[in-house]
Amino acid sequence: MEYFTPSPKKGSESKSKLISRRAFVLTSFKFIFLATIISRLFYLQVIKKEDFTIKADKNRFRSWKLNPSRGIILDKYNHVIADNFQVFKIAIIPKEIKSINNFFSFLSKIINLEEKEINFYKRQISKNNKYQPFVFNKNFNWKEFSKINYNIQDLPGVQPFVSYERTYLYPYQFSHILGYVSIPNKDDLNKLRSDYIDVPNLKIGKIGLEKNLNETLLGEPGSATYEVNVFGKRVKQVVHKDGVGGNTIKTTFDKDIQNYAFDRLKNATGSVVVMDMLGNVLCCASSPSFDPNKFTYGMNEDEYKSLQNDERKPLVNKALTTVYPPASTIKMLVALSALENKVITNNFRHTCKGKVELYDQEYHCWKDKGHGRIDLNKAIKESCDIYFYEVARLLGIDRLNETAKRFGLGKQVFESFFEEKEGLIPSTLWKKTTLGKPWFLGETMIAGIGQGYMKTTAVQLCKMIVQFANGGYEVNPSFIEKKENTLTNKIIDNDDHVQFLLNSLYQATNEPGGTSYASRINGKMKFAGKTGTAQVKKITKYERDRDLKNKDLPWKFRDHSLFVGYGPTDKPQYGITVIIDHGGSGSAAAAPIARDVMKVIFEKEKKLNNV
Ligand SMILES: [Zn+2]
């Protein structure tokens, strides 16, 4: 420290010169030293002030976005069908966790976590932004949640919190049509508003109405700021901004009808759709099903894979997504088109000998012996195929295409329902532009019995029958209750045609010899409809000669069973479609289910009207 504490030597000029030189060096040095300190202080206090303030606050406060409660879904009688239940969850800030392995080894000591689960979370955490909360897609029970809270000082970076999770009250019954919610993926996040980013435990609708109405159901996120201690534990809440809950949605479903229809489908693969005469959907059940709560409460990979690999496809909505040949259910439409185009009259007769030959190709009626000479009424009632080959031959595919499109076949029934398929109503132009081939007459004939290229969905067929039963008015089916829904647009030009065909359907179900006579409803309120048996596999000559029964084939080659109907017949109020995949004939599988569902509807109707 010689420079700073020099010991001056007395009594000589040279000494004094030496002293003043030393003093100069010393002063300069002091000045430089001071300037450095001042400039450093200036830098820290003025230039970097903001950074330091934030860092200091970060040690004391934590801000969280708050997940708004998702809108509740009601049925038409205000019964809750989708609610939000309180759940206990944890989140971690990955950056604040020194060793993820140590973290999990400690956590698995206090709560039960499987090795597979841990590995899954480790992968997920590694993909998460390390500064943003990672929420475990798992709901903890109260005991687990308490243990985590009790040990929070040994779990730095962990934040336990209480949230609300979407819960379906009739999970299997409504799974396909309500859909489910789950964690948004990157694409989903890109479509969301920026204030939804980094909302812990945010779930969005992935399929069904949950997806279709996601924006309405979602609500607005809130936020909360907490003061925390050195372990990151919340000490007190300092700011709280409430979010806005999502809107309550009142649907057109009748939970009793939906639940009954689903139970009635039992182990079958297929769907039941019921609409009123305005197109309000009372029931849209699909089987087999799955538990949508598992998507919110956590489903393991094995469970998901087994759903995906099931040949009966439980994740698919059979009413909207699966397309089927309409089979004989199309006959009422073929007849209407032929009547409107004046190709035939009500009295048109034709002879069925069980088969007909055209250009070396044989076309068969389901009744080997043939129906003999029959008219339009009997051809519908007994569902003669030969009669309708002939009507279709006279009508032509393009005129049939126009009528079918007018009734809503071959196009989506609902607005922007992403899983709904269009199906297909062919035409000569369609075949030329899509397949690059000319149309053949034989293709027109099989279109007359709803086979060949023609594909429809259960909801399309339900819309079709409703538009017959309501007297020929267009409906725009909906799952959401509309304030005004009146019938204004008539899509037929002669009421007599429709009345004639409804009468034939009445006979098909309520008079001996009709294809669904075995499924009639006795009593004051009756129902009526048309069966359909859709071929999945062409019957070979070998099989026909040996009279091989459909039930002898493997399940996936058996015919689909269809029924479309309406009731009560004296004053139509409801239309119904039942389709059973590989269920055999329409009269065997679909018609009895339609009858039972309609019976329940009638009973309910009687109670409501005190009849
Ligand atoms: Zn026939």
496 alpha carbon to ligand 1 midpoint, in Å?
Answer: 25
- Tell me, yes or no, whether 20 lies in a domain: no
Q: Tell me which DSSP letter residue 480 carries.
A: B
Cα–ligand 1 centroid distance for 578 (angstroms):
24
385 Cα to the center of ligand 1, angstroms: 5
Distance 275 CA to ligand 1 centre (A): 31
Note whether 239 and 266 are same-domain residues: no
351 C-alpha to ligand 1 centroid (Å): 8
Flag whether 534 is in a domain.
yes
Helix axes 331-340, 458-469, angle to 10 degrees: 50
Q: How far is the centre of ligand 1, averaged over its atoms, from the C-alpha of 384 (Å)?
A: 4
Does one domain contain both 198 and 274?
no
CATH number, position 133: 3.90.1310.10
Q: Please list the ranges in the chain whose pLDDT falls under 70.
A: 1-59, 229-234, 483, 485, 611
Answer yes or no: are the C-beta atoms of 287 and 258 closer than 8 Å.
no
Do residues 239 and 269 share a domain? no
Distance 335 CA to ligand 1 centre (A): 15
Kindly state whether residues 427 and 503 are assigned to the same domain.
Answer: yes
Question: DSSP readout, 6-58?
Answer: --PPPS-HHHHHHHHHHHHHHHHHHHHHHHHHHHHHHIIIIISHHHHHHHHHH
Same domain? 498 vs 362? yes
Task: Examine the domain organization and report whether 228 and 278 are in the same domain.
Answer: no
Do residues 78 and 220 share a domain? yes
Ligand 1 centroid, distance to 99 Cα (angstroms): 77
Asked which of 230, 250, 270 is the last residue of a domain, the reply is 250
Domain identity same for 232 and 339:
no
**DSSP letters spanning 384-446:** -HHHHHHHHHHH-HHHHHHHHHHTTTTS-SSTT-TT----B---HHHIIIII-----HHHHHH
Query: Would 130 be classed as within a structural domain?
Result: yes
Distance 359 CA to ligand 1 centre (A): 20
Both 117 and 201 in a single domain? Answer: yes
* d(CA 367, ligand 1 centre) in Å: 6
> Nearest-CA neighbor of 91 among 134, 132, 131, 121?
134
Residue that is last in its domain, among 235, 250, 265: 250
Give the number of C-alpha atoms closer than 13 A to the C-alpha of residue 266, restricted to the C-beta side. Answer: 8
Distance 515 CA to ligand 1 centre (A): 12
Instruction: List the structure tokens of 581.
Output: 């995949």
In a domain, residue 58? The reply is: no
Does residue 9 form part of some domain?
no
**C-beta of residue 437 within 8 angstroms of C-beta of residue 539:** no
Total residue length of the chain: 611
Counted domains in the chain? 2
Distance CA 238, CA 218 (A): 26
Shared domain for 326 and 358, answered yes or no, is: yes
Tokens of 288: 């087999």
- Together in a domain, 280 and 176: no
pTM value is: 0.85
Q: What is the pLDDT of residue 295?
A: 87
Helices (H), 511-563: 541-545
Query: Which CATH number is 397's domain given?
Result: 3.40.710.10
Q: Is 304 helix (H, G, I), strand (E, B) or coil?
A: helix
User: Both 227 and 282 in a single domain?
Assistant: no
Residue 392 Cα, ligand 1 centroid: separation in angstroms?
14
In terms of residue numbers, what domain contains 193?
Answer: 67-250
Domain-embedded: residue 50: no
- Whole-number Å distance, alpha carbon 389 to ligand 1 midpoint, is 10
Give the pLDDT confidence score for residue 27 in this predicted structure. Answer: 60
In a domain, 421, yes or no: yes
Question: How far is 226 from 35, CA to CA, in rounded Å?
Answer: 41
Reported as type and span, the H/E element at residue 281 is: strand 281-287
CA of 506 to the centre of ligand 1 (A): 19
Query: Ligand 1: distance of its center to the CA of 174 in Å?
Result: 40
Distance CA 34, CA 36 (A): 5
* Ligand 1 centroid to residue 370 C-alpha, Å: 5
Residue 8: inside a domain: no
